[in-house]
A = this chain, B = another copy of it.
Amino acid sequence: MAQAFWRRGMNGTATFSLFFRGYPPDRAFYAVAGIDSALAHIESARFTGEDIDYLRATTPLMPDFLEALADFRFSGSVRLVSEGSVVFADEPVLEVTAPLVEAQILETALLNAVTFQSAVLTKAVRIKQAAGDRPLVEFGARRAQGDEAADLASRCAAIAGFSGTSNLRAAARFGIPSTGTMAHSFVQSFEDELTAFRAYASEFPKSTTLLVDTYDVEQGIRNAITVGTEMRAQEHNLNAIRLDSGDMDALSRRARRMLDDAGLTEVKIIATGGLDEHSIAKLVSDGAPIDAFGVGTRYVVSADAPYLDSVYKLVTYDRRNSRKLSPGKATLPGPKQVFRTSQNGIFTGDYIGTAREAPPNGSQPLLETVFKNGKPKAEPDDIETVAAKLQQQLEMLPEEVKRLKDPEPYSVRLTPALESLIERIDS
């Protein structure tokens, strides 16, 4: 496609708009992530000599076009909503305005960055919502879809307010808190469970969490109580026990009673093993005495919604606004802006409008210019800024839109200016 454009001199200015179509089950909003990765892609997009040689050898692309690719640099502009923002279906998340070939070539990289990371940040937000004030740790790396996915999911968990990740590589890479734990293999490596627990407690007396379900859970809890009592005598406290299988509600109540009866009221109970927002919400609402949750697999791949229906669509070329009309997949034409209204600190509805119109009364525009003439206008937001942005937006989002099951749709309308642009194009 790029060659056909280039050889025809079709390198007029194009605008592409990246947005989500509809929602996966039980969602009525998206928390945007991947902006950082998307901007890095735009800035570093190049064709190396090796790339050009490969294309020459394996594709029908022409020598003159390949030469042009060797000089490829992004020279356009990018407007986008900042990472950590809440957005809704059909709203532009990111718009690229650039010579047609440049804007087109970025499609796959931008969609890849924003789709996966927004899916997983939205999942993290849902899990955090279910857990409420109870701390959450993330340990999904082993089941993530590749190394990079593991790291990006750990980053999104930190943005959503998780307390730690077991992924040390991600912790180092993004400067987020790491956390360790004991696996069943640790217990199995010793002659018996009690010996294993004592060994761990003597190694990390300030942060001992004992996994109690390797053999028999009740005996595991009794062994943890023995070690917890021994730690007391040395003026240390057992931090927690961890339940990783079985009926979490019943087991946590049983464990709490046993710990309390032994005077270990300060020892916490952590639940892990196949948890997601729905099972956590149920445990919390049923009053299970669980102090913290760990999530892995179902979080890291966003198991109930492993992809989002994201698209990157041409909306203007060479001053001609345009829209695709495929059934169920029609797009809104032209460069656009999102205007958000709020009242008493709660969002009350969005308008999708044209990029150049004045904000409707009292509304805030969401998209900001971050690249101009191929140059970034500022450093990407750091992770604390993104987390704070997200937190603030979630506080302003109506409760019924945040509901974990059967949420209500948020009001998104078109401005009269965009409505009349659509009419002009369709007629």
Residues of chain A touching chain B, judged by Cβ–Cβ distance below 8 Å, are 1, 3-5, 7-8, 10, 14, 16, 51, 54-55, 58-60, 100, 104, 107-109, 111-112, 115-116, 120, 141-150, 152, 166-168, 171-172, 178, 180, 182-186, 188-190, 199-200, 203-204, 206-207, 213-216, 244-246, 297-298, 300-303, 306-308, 310, 312-314, 317, 322-329
| 15 A-B contact pairs sorted by A residue (CB < 8 Å) | A3-B203, A51-B172, A54-B168, A60-B207, A107-B142, A107-B185, A112-B144, A115-B143, A116-B144, A116-B149, A149-B149, A185-B314, A188-B322, A244-B326, A303-B307
In the bound complex, what is the Cα–Cα distance between A72 and B94 (angstroms)?
44
In the bound complex, what is the Cα–Cα distance between A52 and B33 (angstroms)?
30
| Closest B residue, CB atoms, query A185 | B314
Contacts A146-B148, A148-B148, A245-B327; is A10 near B317 (CB within 8 Å)?
Answer: no
Contacts A148-B149, A306-B301; is A141 near B108 (CB within 8 Å)?
Answer: yes
| Closest B residue, CB atoms, query A201 | B4
Please determine whether B148 and A186 come into contact, CB atoms closer than 8 angstroms.
no
**Chain B residue contacts of A314, Cβ below 8 A:** 184-185, 188-189
Please determine whether B200 and A4 come into contact, CB atoms closer than 8 angstroms.
yes
Please determine whether B301 and A297 come into contact, CB atoms closer than 8 angstroms.
no
Please provide the 3 A-B residue pairs with the shortest distance between their CB atoms, ordered closest to farther: A111-B142, A185-B314, A145-B145
Please determine whether B146 and A112 come into contact, CB atoms closer than 8 angstroms.
yes
In the bound complex, what is the Cα–Cα distance between A54 and B175 (angstroms)?
10
Please determine whether B146 and A116 come into contact, CB atoms closer than 8 angstroms.
yes
Minimum C-beta distance from A92 to chain B (A): 15
**Chain B residue contacts of A150, Cβ below 8 A:** 112
Q: By DSSP majority rule, is chain A's interface helix, strand, loop, or mixed?
A: mixed
CB < 8 Å neighbour of A60 from B8, B16, B188, B206: B206
Minimum C-beta distance from A296 to chain B (A): 9
CB < 8 Å neighbour of A326 from B54, B115, B144, B245: B245
Minimum C-beta distance from A83 to chain B (A): 16
| Closest B residue, CB atoms, query A317 | B189
Please determine whether A307 and B317 come into contact, CB atoms closer than 8 angstroms.
no
Contacts A54-B172, A213-B326; is A5 near B116 (CB within 8 Å)?
Answer: no
CB < 8 Å neighbour of A1 from B60, B100, B182: B182
Contacts A4-B200, A141-B112, A303-B306; is A326 near B184 (CB within 8 Å)?
Answer: yes
In the bound complex, what is the Cα–Cα distance between A200 and B199 (angstroms)?
70
**Chain B residue contacts of A325, Cβ below 8 A:** 214-216
In the bound complex, what is the Cα–Cα distance between A143 and B24 (angstroms)?
14
| Closest B residue, CB atoms, query A107 | B142
**Chain B residue contacts of A214, Cβ below 8 A:** 324-326
CB < 8 Å neighbour of A145 from B141, B216, B306, B324: B306
Please determine whether B149 and A186 come into contact, CB atoms closer than 8 angstroms.
no
In the bound complex, what is the Cα–Cα distance between A328 and B244 (angstroms)?
12
In the bound complex, what is the Cα–Cα distance between A184 and B183 (angstroms)?
50
Please determine whether A186 and B58 come into contact, CB atoms closer than 8 angstroms.
no
**Chain B residue contacts of A308, Cβ below 8 A:** 143
Please determine whether A112 and B142 come into contact, CB atoms closer than 8 angstroms.
yes
In the bound complex, what is the Cα–Cα distance between A116 and B153 (angstroms)?
15
**Chain B residue contacts of A182, Cβ below 8 A:** 1
Contacts A199-B4, A214-B326, A245-B327; is A147 near B144 (CB within 8 Å)?
Answer: no
